[in-house]
Structure 1
Amino acid sequence: MTATILEPDRPIIDPHHHLWDRSRLDLRAMPFAAHGFSQMLRERSRYMLDELLADTDSGHDIRATVFIECRAMYRADGPKALRSVGETEFVNGVAAVAASGVYGPTRACAGIVGHADLRLGAEVGEVLEAHIAAGQGRFRGIRHSAAYDGDENVLGPLSTRGTPAGLLRDPDFRKGFAELAPRGLSFDAWLLEPQLPDLLDLAQAFPETTIVLDHVGGPVGIGAYAGQRAARFGAWRTQIRALAACENVVVKLGGLAMPFAGFEWSYANRPDSYPALAEAWAPYIETCIEAFGATRCMFESNFPVDHFSCDYVTLWNAFKHLARDCSEDEKQALFFDTAARVYRLDCGPAI
């Protein structure tokens, strides 16, 4: 039975998804089971253009997308600092295929956000220039994940990435961060709620750099924070409001289908319907929209990772349900205009 699509004619830019092919990895040797990621990777070990388009063509009117780095297709050799440029080369090829129109109207990967180690300081400029060249007009910014917690059970397998505590305050990192604005590049920030004060300090120190806060700031409710999500909501809200006072910060509304926030859903216990997701997520989504305003908020899919809890149709139905009381102008901003402006996408008006 085909799922009902809410507002099927509403144009959408999906500003946050990944691509990868991990089908050749031995998933049994990877420590994902505790977070349920093992099943997600088994089902979505390959998420390339075909799989992305199967989702974007499933009923909602997805006009364009933005790829966000996920350590896919790095160069196998050459200078270590430049290996991440391989990801941009790969994604730009995918974008070119989508732009041909052969596979339909969706302009997949119209914007690309890659990775560079900003701890290289001023020397990261060479890496940024290489990304810009490889993107051939599609490269928009950098994501250097700062997600860290002293309890390895919070981030699970992602704790093995070696991200240090206090990355956003590191002097070398900030020297590298200073190289973004002169090149017109934005910064996607992925971190956890206890780290939000670090991002606030960074945003205040670099008011000329556009910062995109991913996943509503990473609420936590597992590991050392198990059962504390509700109790920590007030502190999260305070930091969100403080960040909203920084005009250079915008926020992505999504990522709450991941396990970190501690909601009960998983592959083993999926929600029955989109209203259930919308009801649970409403305090976070509504707080962000109230604090930032619709013109500085954008809904995101975070696929295939958020497939952990629901399918693509259900996710966007939940977002549309959450926005049901917004004005038409607000909806246009939340689903299309904010993403188009922030990532400088030329994909036509939302009409």
Structure 2
Amino acid sequence: MSSSILPIIPRAEVRPDWLAQYTEAALEPDLPIIDPHHHLADTHWGGYMADDLLADLNSGHRIESTVFIQVGFSYRQDGPEALRPVGETERVVRIAKQANAAQSRTRICAGIVGFAELSLGAAVEEVLAAQVQVGEGRFRGIRCHAAAHEKFQYGVMHSPPLHVYLNPQFREGFAKLAQFGLSFDSWAYHTQLGELTDLAKAFPDTPIVIDHIGVPLGVGPYTGQRGAVFAEWKKQLQRIAQLPNVSIKLGGLGMSVFGFPFHKQPRPPTSLELADAWRPYILTCIELFGPERCMFESNFPVDKGTCSYAVLWNAFKHITSGMSGDEKRALYRDTAQSFYRL
């Protein structure tokens, strides 16, 4: 079935007036945090540039540094098609330099994860070299959007071909990541975790991180199937967690594709409401991967459609309230610092 006729799952849009109805003070404000997953945007999500990011970062939590993750932002408008994504890295570097020169609280975009079309095969080497060069010491890895389903399309980016992680040409390009010392971010649904497991087994020397806890779906044919989806998602994670080169990001649950209804309520959720809904998922990841392979993420501004930055991190802190200092340091800072070599 062509993606052009698939039903589209609308994303949770950012609504500042709606978010302003509810605020919270930051819990554990001295806990050091690296936010290893945020985006920038000229127009998407109402626009989200350095000033917007810094306003969120300064909402009470101690954010020491951040990692920018590719989102199809500011690609080059001309030149070879394969090299156009390098424009994203170029612009993020400029934004980071300017923002960090003006403030010293948080090193924004200390790491950058960009895009390269790995399905180019061995020819992707030119793109990877260009990304590393323009990254000026910040470039850390590649993310390839693989989240696709035969029954629906989620309204963030165009759906890629199904089964891209199994494509021989993709794997030929993937093999080049190790040559440049780059990691891989996986953005895929729980229905694709078996394919990611196969990929991770094939490349044991390439660090891989699963974005957004592997996205246990709650929309389309999975609406009202939360228990069955949870069981299947956990079974898939149990398999992939056995691979030492795979880590996981704890977050993204504010996206509409998870099926939680918070963005549809008259008022924004409290951090306790979010913690109660998200706790089984977060704790399952920590149980399977251990704190040393788990890192909390904001996924802003995407998750800003569900809650504010302060409330998001408070929800995470409620979930981890009974954990040790060492466990919290790993979950909130050290795992991200190690994985992205910050």
> What TM-score comes out, normalization by structure 2 length?
0.91
Q: Distance in 2 between matches of 1:269 and 1:176?
A: 47
Cα distance in 1 for residues equivalent to 2:171 and 2:269: 45
Shift of 1:157: 5.3
Cα shift at 1:105: 1.7
Provide the C-alpha distance between the structure 2 equivalents of 1:232 and 1:3, rounded to a whole number of angstroms: 32
Q: Is 1:148 equivalent to 2:148 in the alignment? A: yes
Q: Deviations over 1:181-213 (max 9, x none)?
A: 111100000000101000000011100000010
2:311 paired with 1:314: yes
Q: Distance in 2 between matches of 1:290 and 1:245?
A: 12
How far, CA to CA, are the matches of 1:264 and 1:99 in structure 2? Answer: 36
2:127: which partner in 1? 127
Alignment of 1:286 onto 2:283: yes
**Residue 81 of structure 1: aligned partner:** 82
**One-letter code aligned to 1:90:** R
What displacement does 1:273 show?
1.1
Structure 2: where are the runs of 5+ without partners? 1-21
CA distance in structure 2 between the partners assigned to 1:136 and 1:5 by the alignment: 34
* Mapped pair 1:298 → 2:295: yes
Asked if 1 retains the 8 angstrom alpha-carbon contact of 2:35 and 2:65, the reply is yes
Correspondence 1:159-308 to 2 at 5 A: 161-266=158-263, 268-308=265-305
Q: Please identify runs of 4+ aligned residues in structure 1 that moved more than 3 A.
A: 267-272
State the match for 1:27 in structure 2: none
In structure 1, the residue matched to 2:48 is 47
Give how far 1:336 is off.
0.4
**1:348 aligns to what?**
none
User: Shift in Å at residue 279 of structure 1?
Assistant: 0.8
Secondary structure at the counterpart of residue 278 of structure 1: helix
Q: CA deviation at 1:231?
A: 1.6
Conserved? CA contact 2:217–2:259, under 8 Å: yes
Deviations, residues 140-171 of structure 1 (Å, cap 9, x unaligned): 0000111000012x52453xx24001000000
Equivalent-residue separation in structure 2 for 1:232 and 1:316 (angstroms): 25
Take 1:270 and 1:304, find their aligned partners in 2: how far apart are those partners? 18
Secondary structure of the structure 1 residue equivalent to 2:145? coil
Residues 101-150 of structure 1, C-alpha deviations (whole Å, 9 max, x = no match)? x2232100000000010000000000000000010000000001110000
SS in 2 for 1:116: coil
2:19 corresponds to: none
* Cα distance in 1 for residues equivalent to 2:155 and 2:150: 11
Whole-angstrom CA distance in 2 between matches of 1:206 and 1:282: 31
Q: Does 1:139 align with 2:160?
A: no
C-alpha distance 10-157 of structure 1, shift in aligned 2 (>3 A): closer
1:43-97 Cα offsets, whole Å, 9 max, x none, are x421010000000011101010000000000000000000000000000111212
SS in 2 for 1:124: helix
Match of 1:113 in 2: 113
Q: How does 1:22-33 map to 2 (within 5 A)?
A: 22=43
How big is each residue's C-alpha offset from its partner over 1:256-295, in whole Å with a ceiling of 9 and x where there is no partner?
Answer: 0101111111154455310110110011100000000001
| Equivalent residue, structure 2, for 1:6 | 27
Report the Cα distance in structure 2 between the residues aligned to 1:204 and 1:269, rounded to whole angstroms: 45
> CA–CA distance in 1 between the matches of 2:320 and 2:112?
27
CA distance in 1 between partners of 2:266 and 2:169 (Å): 43
Shift of 1:325: 1.0
The equivalent of 2:60 in structure 1 is 59
Q: 1:229, 1:261 within 8 Å by CA — same for their partners in 2?
A: no
> Residue 337 of structure 1 corresponds to which residue in structure 2?
334
Q: Secondary structure at the match of 2:98?
A: helix
Gap regions ≥5 residues in structure 1: 23-40, 346-351
Task: Look up the equivalent residue of 1:108 and give its one-letter code.
Answer: I
User: How many aligned residue pairs are there?
Assistant: 321
CA contact (8 A) 2:189 2:217 kept: yes
Q: Secondary structure at the match of 1:21?
A: coil
Q: Which has the higher contact order (CA 8 A, sep 6+)?
A: 2
**Equivalent residues of 1:243, 1:249 under 8 A apart:** yes
Identity of aligned residues (%): 54
Alignment TM-score, normalising by the size of structure 1: 0.89
Aligned equivalent of 1:104 = 104
Is the CA contact 2:262–2:269 (under 8 Å) kept in the aligned structure 1? no
Which one-letter code corresponds to 1:106 in the other structure?
T
Q: Distance in 2 between matches of 1:141 and 1:267?
A: 35
